[in-house]
Amino acid sequence: MKAKKFTFKTEKSTGAYRSFYDDIHYIKYEGKIVGSIHAKTHQIRLMVYKNDIMEDGNPNCEWKNIFLKNEFDSIPEAKDFLNRQFENILKQYKLHQQED
């Protein structure tokens, strides 16, 4: 059975220089990473398969990063948007899944 929504995982910065780095907010589908939410702009990035292997001039990779035009005021607002648009996103894009 396919998942009916995205899940999310926040990876906190660690180490002596953690204050210089933002937390990473991963977007997951079926337990695998398919994108992220930028910590400061709250912009959504998804990893999608290319329609044509040469569409970005790189024949060595079959997927690319895309950014959705929407920007949000908070991480929870971006997460809510993703789950409201879940079916539309899956219809429009073939998501590349990466192990975390």
Lowest mean pLDDT among 41-45, 70-74, 82-86: 70-74
In this predicted structure, the answer to whether residue 2 has a pLDDT above a threshold of 80 is no
pTM beyond 0.85, yes or no: yes
Reported confidence tier of residue 17, pLDDT bands at 50, 70, 90: confident
Q: Give the closest residue to 79 by CA, choosing from 7, 12, 17, 30.
A: 7
**Residue 67 pLDDT:** 95
68 in Cβ contact with 46 (< 8 Å): yes
